[in-house]
């Protein structure tokens, strides 16, 4: 038996979704047939509705960021699997707004295929629907691959910015512009210290020896750039930050939003230790932190590890990131 809180592993996702619904009775609705969590006040015809699909196992992404100024609905698939077509079609139906529908999709084949199909069907139904692809992971050098980069923790910033703009009444094209802009200046890389254990699998997804880490790991435990020996935090963070900074590139004078995201099994104390290193290195490079985020945002089940995201902000992005928001993931 796996060491986790689970009953029937196949019911893991529906059971935790039920918990989320019970904990947020006034603000969220839940349709267990389609893993569908939606804002209780959606759809509003004065506002574009925003949907994120993706697999489960990344909580609080994305079911817990349904709320005011964020998503209108999320319809996750099983653990680490894009949702089946039906779920996406139901989500679209549930929050269909006269102002349009925006799909935010992390760039994975499964998600792309299913959201493409759903969009085609919705357009055939006469809906005003568009998609933003998120692909912020610098771990994978896309020149060698035909599938492009993966979408990882950067999706938080896309959601937060377009969510805020949608709340202000921006139209669908404007949201696409904003979302694509944020994605274009967001860069992330992760590192795995341990492998995630999917409930239905009951064992870690892969073997990571006691003294090795996976640099550039994906949020589904996909391999990254290289296996490395565990090293001091300063060295690990140095390598990650270099990869992120060099990619855009970020340079002296830039203002950035920084996220140190935990993969699920790493305590927040360690994440702040990482943040301290990131902050000081950025200062050395002349890069100013405009806003910081430290905690579990886009996780990989119980994996120990972290990712670092930098987003180059301008006045517009900074304003949208600072706008108020409310969601199922909350503290007080």
Partner 1 sequence: MSSQSFAATEFVVRTIAQTSCDNEKRFGDLDAVVGDGDFGYSLARGFEVILADWDSYDRSDIGTFLQKIAIAITNRIGGTSGPIWGTAFLRAGGKLKGHDEISGAEVITALRAAAEGIQARGGAALGDKTLLDALVPATDVLETKLTEGVSAAEALEASAIAAEAAAEATTSMQAMRGRAAYTGERSIGSVDPGAVAVAVIFRRLSDEWTSR
Ligand X SMILES: Nc1ncnc2c1ncn2[C@@H]1O[C@H](COP(=O)(O)OP(=O)(O)O)[C@@H](O)[C@H]1O
Bridge-partner residues for 38, per DSSP?
Answer: 29, 73
| Site residues, partner 1 (CB under 8 A) | 10, 55, 77-86, 108-110, 113-114, 117, 139-141, 144-147, 150, 198, 200-201, 205-206, 218, 220-223
Nearest-approach distance from CB 181 to a copy of itself, in angstroms: 19
User: In terms of Cα–Cα distance, which of 205, 209, 237 is closest to 220?
Assistant: 205
* Residue 87 to residue 37: CA distance in whole angstroms: 11
Nearest-approach distance from CB 122 to a copy of itself, in angstroms: 29
Nearest-approach distance from CB 328 to ligand X, in angstroms: 26
Give the active site residue among 39, 47, 58, 112: 58
Query: In terms of CB distance, is 80 or 297 closer to Mg ion?
Result: 80
* Residue 54 to residue 80: CA distance in whole angstroms: 8
DSSP 8-state symbol, 9: G
Active site annotation includes 62: no
User: In terms of Cα–Cα distance, which of 120, 201, 110, 204 is closest to 151?
Assistant: 110
DSSP 8-state symbol, 31: E
C-alpha of 282 from chain center: 23
207 CB burial (10 A radius; 0-12, 13-18, 19+) = exposed
Q: Identify what 265 binds: ligand X, partner 1, a copy of itself, none; CB under 5 to 8 Å per kind.
A: a copy of itself
Nearest-approach distance from CB 57 to Mg ion, in angstroms: 10
Give the active site residue among 47, 99, 220, 312: 220
* Residue 41 to residue 53: CA distance in whole angstroms: 19
Q: Identify what 206 binds: a copy of itself, Mg ion, partner 1, none; CB under 5 to 8 Å per kind.
A: partner 1
Query: In terms of CB distance, is 129 or 317 closer to a copy of itself?
Result: 317
Side-chain-facing half-sphere of 132: CA atoms under 13 Å:
30
Q: Identify what 184 binds: partner 1, a copy of itself, Mg ion, none; CB under 5 to 8 Å per kind.
A: none
Whether a cis peptide bond, with omega within 30° of 0, leads into 173 is no
Query: In terms of CB distance, is 74 or 241 closer to ligand X?
Result: 74
Nearest-approach distance from CB 137 to partner 1, in angstroms: 8
Nearest-approach distance from CB 207 to ligand X, in angstroms: 19
Side-chain-facing half-sphere of 129: CA atoms under 13 Å:
24
Query: In terms of CB distance, is 56 or 107 closer to a copy of itself?
Result: 56
Query: In terms of CB distance, is 55 or 154 closer to partner 1?
Result: 55
CB crowding 35-60: b at 16 or more within 10 Å, else e = bbbbbeebbbeebbbbbbbbbbbbbb
User: In terms of Cα–Cα distance, which of 197, 220, 265, 219 is closest to 9?
Assistant: 197
Query: In terms of CB distance, is 57 or 265 closer to Mg ion?
Result: 57
Q: Identify what 151 binds: Mg ion, partner 1, a copy of itself, none; CB under 5 to 8 Å per kind.
A: none
* Residue 90 to residue 75: CA distance in whole angstroms: 9
| Site residues, a copy of itself (CB under 8 A) | 1-7, 12, 15-20, 22-23, 56-57, 59-60, 64, 160, 193-194, 210-211, 213, 230-234, 236-237, 264-277, 279-280, 289, 292-296, 299, 301-302, 304, 306, 321, 324-325, 327, 329-332
Planar angle of CA 47, 160, 217, nearest 5 degrees: 135
**Nearest residue to ligand X on Cβ basis:** 110
Side-chain-facing half-sphere of 267: CA atoms under 13 Å:
2
Chain residues 69-98 in contact with ligand X, contact rule CB under 6 A: 81-82
Query: In terms of CB distance, is 205 or 282 closer to partner 1?
Result: 205
109 is a site residue for ligand X (CB under 6 A): yes
- Hey, which residues are catalytic here? 58, 220
Q: Which residues in this chain contact ligand X in the complex, by CB under 6 A?
A: 81-82, 109-110
């Amino acid at each position: 038996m796996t060491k986790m809180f689970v009953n029937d592993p196949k019911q893991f996702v529906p059971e935790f979704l039920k918990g989320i619904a019970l904990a947020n009775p006034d603000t969220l609705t839940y349709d267990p047939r389609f893993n569908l969590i939606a804002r209780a006040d959606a759809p509003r015809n004065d506002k574009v509705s925003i949907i994120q699909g993706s697999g489960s196992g990344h909580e609080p992404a994305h079911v817990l960021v349904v709320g005011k100024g964020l998503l209108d609905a999320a319809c996750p698939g099983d653990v680490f699997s894009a949702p089946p077509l039906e779920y996406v079609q139901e989500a679209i139906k549930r929050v269909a707004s006269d102002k349009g529908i925006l799909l935010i999709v992390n760039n994975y084949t499964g998600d792309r295929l299913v959201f493409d199909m759903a969009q085609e069907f919705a357009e055939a139904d006469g809906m005003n629907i568009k998609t933003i692809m998120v692909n912020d992971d610098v771990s994978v050098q896309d020149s060698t691959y035909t599938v492009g980069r993966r979408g990882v923790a950067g999706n938080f910033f896309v959601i937060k910015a377009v969510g805020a703009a949608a709340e202000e009444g921006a139209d669908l094209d404007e949201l696409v512009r904003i979302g694509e802009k944020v994605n274009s200046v967001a860069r992330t890389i992760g590192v795995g210290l341990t492998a995630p254990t999917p409930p239905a699998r009951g064992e870690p997804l892969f073997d990571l020896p006691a003294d090795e880490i996976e640099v550039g790991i994906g949020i589904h435990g996909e391999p990254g750039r290289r296996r490395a020996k565990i090293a001091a935090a300063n060295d690990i963070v140095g390598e990650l930050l270099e990869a992120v900074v060099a990619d855009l590139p970020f340079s002296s004078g830039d203002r950035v939003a920084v996220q140190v995201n935990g993969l699920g099994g790493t305590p927040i104390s360690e994440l702040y230790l990482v943040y301290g290193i990131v902050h000081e290195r950025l200062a050395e490079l002349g890069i100013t932190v405009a806003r910081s985020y430290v905690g579990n945002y886009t996780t990989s089940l119980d994996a120990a590890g972290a990712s670092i995201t930098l987003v180059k902000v301008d006045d517009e992005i900074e304003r949208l990131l600072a706008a108020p928001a409310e969601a199922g993931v909350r503290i007080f």
